[in-house]
Amino acid sequence: MNKKTRNLFLLIFFLSFLATILIAARFLFFKKPQTPPSFVPTPSPVIATPTPVIQPLDGRGDSQEKILKDLEKRFPLQKFLPYTEENFTLGYIGPLFLKITLKKDAPEIRQGVLDWIWSKGVDPATHQIKWEIGL
């Protein structure tokens, strides 16, 4: 056997040996990946789900009288508003929060607004007031 043929034979033998070791290692050390089970869609019976428990909202279930008293406490001037005079306009923008729009900013006009609130039996100090200029 000449040297070229011998080297080719050794190369083929080495590659065959390496392939055999790799194949054996795959079967010995690496597990076969499991295929996920396949599901066939089948009609299923309708299962009733329980109805969630809903907590009552604030004020829900209260008597009408209690609700009206609560509203009157939070908006004591509501039955008089919105109110407009020559120099100002008055209205609620939230519970115990008044918006007063003045025609012009003058101390006597502001005092007139506060006097009007007092005349309705309400202390202006119980409200937050947003003063705006310009009708």
Task: Give Cα separations from 97 to 84, 93, 127, 128 (angstroms).
Answer: 17, 6, 5, 5
Strands 83-84 and 97-102: unpaired
Is 90 a domain residue?
yes
DSSP state of 32: P
Q: Please say whether the beta carbons of 112 and 80 come within 8 A.
A: no
pLDDT single digits (tens) 69-122: 888 888 888 888 888 888 889 998 888 888 999 888 888 888 988 999 999 998
Please name every residue paired with 89 in a beta bridge, in sequence order, or none if there are none: 84, 101
Asked if residue 48 belongs to a domain, the reply is no
| Residue found by looking up tokens 């392939």 in the block | 19
Q: What is the model's pLDDT at position 24?
A: 85
Per-residue pLDDT reduced to its tens digit, 29-76: 776 666 766 666 666 555 554 554 545 555 566 678 888 888 888 888
Range of the domain at 13: 1-28
Is residue 89 situated within a structural domain? Answer: yes
Separation CA 75–CA 116 (nearest Å): 16
In a domain, 53, yes or no: no
In a domain, 123, yes or no: yes
Cβ 74 vs Cβ 96: under 8 Å: yes
Q: Which residues pair with 103 in a beta bridge?
A: none
Predicted structure pTM score: 0.51
35 assigned to some structural domain = no
Overall domain count for the chain: 2
Question: 113 CB contacts (<8 Å, ≥6 apart)?
Answer: 88, 90, 100, 102
Residue 80 covered by a domain: yes
Does residue 63 lie in a domain region?
Answer: no
